[in-house]
Amino acid sequence: LLALAYEKNKDLEKALSCYQHVLKLRKLMFGEMSLQVGNIYASLSNLHRRMDDHAQSLGWNKRAIAIYTKLYEDSKIENSNGKGNSQNYNVQRHLIGSLQNQGGLYVQMNEIERSISTYLRVVEQQVSFLGEDHPDVARTLNVLGDLYMAKKCYSEARASFNRALKL
Q: What is the pLDDT of residues 37-49, one digit of tens each?
A: 999 999 999 999 9
State the Rg of the chain over Cα.
17
Residues 6+ apart with CB under 8 A from 167: 132, 133, 134, 135, 137, 138, 141
pLDDT of residue 164: 97
pLDDT in tens, 104-149: 999 999 999 999 999 999 999 999 999 999 999 999 999 999 999 9
Alpha-carbon span 51 to 124, nearest angstrom: 30
CA-wise closest residue to 66 among 25, 94, 24, 107 = 94
Residue 92 has pLDDT above 70, yes or no: yes
What's the CA gap between 167 and 16, in Å, rounded? 41
Q: What is the pLDDT of residue 88?
A: 83
Q: Nearest Cα to 61, choosing from 89, 84, 94, 15?
A: 94
Of the pLDDT bands very low, low, confident and very high (cuts 50, 70, 90), residue 86 is: low
